A and B are shown apart, each in its own frame.
Chain A
């Protein structure tokens, strides 16, 4: 099965952070995944978590340069969710009912890549969280919320942008230290 050209456009938009595209994919697939997980010993919240995990996998895949989607988005999302959920069930020692509503495709490799990335991002997350305030908020404002130094200076109460910048570099150095104590560059 080849990917639909319309879906290719949709995925391109998703990769470019078009929230409309994310919304469309969300709308068209969430109920299916919810039904699958409810049918297989899961709850609504678990279904939401698993589905969002799959959305992130799809997003990361769409962003990667080597990206080619060889199936329909629906099939892909379902397959990832199914795989993730069966794995989760296995971990907590439950079994699935074996209810299969849709065809699924092998997605092991994508999930593996996704999980490795997740582990890396987990290092950053833990490093940020052990940084303490105001460093954490300051760096998040700059790197995640992408605020300018002037805005940051204003909202954090620094007298000027340069002061904020100095503070930011001090925090950054501490963060890097925390990060690289966990992260192995050799990888």
Chain B
């Protein structure tokens, strides 16, 4: 009972609830009695701790209240998943992405190692250094839907026979206004071909001549819808372009005609091949068979291949090969005797935009099928 009384007194003292004379009496008692002084110090400390404890606990409670209030009003997120997402998956992904990344790296390294082995042990073909620039099936298939859609607008059926499988694609260009086209032989990997102009009109064509040695082929547009071009805007040059000469090309790496420019990088082609030359410009699959023009709008070459391991190293057949091809065509079929290749360009002294505008009507997208 006395202890309780003492505790009560100490509390009142610490809370400052004592009257003046009671307080001075108690302070005197503290001075004279170390045990009581000790109790006061101890209790003071205890109350401080208790105060802080209460304080933090109340603050914690208020945090809980705030949390539930804010997550109810949506001012903070109330679940793990960010609003509107497939949370579980995201969460799993977040949790395991490290593991997944490691697994993927290991798989990647293994794959690289195996392909390195395969490359090392397989006999290396010289041609593997070169990449032919024809587009292959899968890509064409993908893009064909689009082409067809635009064709429907033109009220025309696709000219590829039903059930035929589209194989490769590339570029061809007119060498005669009546519908003779030249392209690469490697573009024509099927039994039939269609050509499409830059506006999406598709025409049937016949394969007249294929020379796999030179890698050139001649096609003829065989379609009633086709209207002959009176005079071709460009000429075909027999002489070689000069080193450093600025060149440009038009082709179909996509379903749309694409312009690219560069310069003559070397007078010979891959490994000193004199029938071709080296260009420095950007070419992609689909550019095979594309005409290479000089700044006067003369055709000086046909894009054929690019070096696989190098950027922007493209090889083009020299344009004099076109003359050779047409000559052999004339020899094989007398009905082409009167064909005359254009020699003079009407694009000279025009700015590039106008040159392209005129030339692009004579450049076609080729699709072959089986």
Closest to B91 in A: A38
Asked whether, in the complex, the Cβ of B50 is within 8 Å of the Cβ of A34, the reply is: no
B residues in contact with A19, CB < 8 Å: 62, 65-66
A52-B63, A97-B98, A146-B54 provided; 5 other pairs, C-beta below 8 A?
A17-B59, A31-B77, A59-B59, A60-B56, A169-B4
B residues in contact with A43, CB < 8 Å: 80
Which residue numbers of B lie inside 8 Å of A, CB to CB? Answer: 3-4, 7-8, 42-43, 45-46, 49-60, 62-67, 69-70, 75-77, 79-80, 91, 94-95, 97-98
In the complex, A43→B92 CA distance in Å?
11
Question: Per a CB cutoff under 8 Å, which of A27, A120, A123 touches B76?
Answer: A27
In the complex, A52→B59 CA distance in Å?
10
In the complex, A159→B343 CA distance in Å?
123
Closest to B53 in A: A124
Asked whether A176 and B63 contact (CB < 8 A) given A27-B70, A144-B54, the answer is no
Does A183 sit at the interface, judged by CB under 8 A? yes
Asked whether, in the complex, the Cβ of B46 is within 8 Å of the Cβ of A22, the reply is: no
Question: Per a CB cutoff under 8 Å, which of A23, A180, A185 touches B70?
Answer: A23
Asked whether, in the complex, the Cβ of A185 is within 8 Å of the Cβ of B66, the reply is: no
Question: Per a CB cutoff under 8 Å, which of A44, A97, A125, A165 touches B53?
Answer: A125
A-B contact list, 11 entries, CB within 8 Å: A19-B62, A38-B80, A39-B94, A44-B80, A52-B60, A56-B59, A56-B63, A120-B49, A121-B56, A173-B4, A173-B7
Which residue numbers of A lie inside 8 Å of B, CB to CB? Answer: 17, 19, 22-23, 26-27, 30-31, 34, 38-39, 41, 43-44, 48, 52, 55-56, 59-60, 63, 97, 117, 120-121, 123-125, 143-144, 146, 165-166, 169-170, 172-173, 176, 179-180, 183, 185
A residues in contact with B45, CB < 8 Å: 185
In the complex, A176→B44 CA distance in Å?
11
In the complex, A144→B61 CA distance in Å?
11
Asked whether, in the complex, the Cβ of B7 is within 8 Å of the Cβ of A30, the reply is: no
In the complex, A17→B65 CA distance in Å?
14
Asked whether A173 and B3 contact (CB < 8 A) given A27-B75, A180-B42, A185-B45, the answer is yes
Asked whether, in the complex, the Cβ of A170 is within 8 Å of the Cβ of B4, the reply is: yes
Measured CB to CB, the closest approach of chain A to B70, in angstroms, equals 6
Asked whether, in the complex, the Cβ of B76 is within 8 Å of the Cβ of A31, the reply is: yes
Asked whether A30 and B49 contact (CB < 8 A) given A169-B8, A170-B4, the answer is no
In the complex, A59→B62 CA distance in Å?
12
B residues in contact with A23, CB < 8 Å: 66, 69-70
A residues in contact with B80, CB < 8 Å: 38, 43-44
Q: Among B4, B50, B70, B75, find the residue whose CB has the most chain A CB atoms closer than 10 A.
A: B50
Q: Among B55, B58, B65, B79, find the residue whose CB has the most chain A CB atoms closer than 10 A.
A: B55
In the complex, A121→B54 CA distance in Å?
9
Give the 3 A-B residue pairs with the shortest CB-CB distance, closest first.
A144-B54, A169-B4, A124-B53
In the complex, A60→B43 CA distance in Å?
22
A residues in contact with B51, CB < 8 Å: 143
In the complex, A117→B49 CA distance in Å?
9
In the complex, A44→B62 CA distance in Å?
19
Asked whether, in the complex, the Cβ of A26 is within 8 Å of the Cβ of B67, the reply is: yes
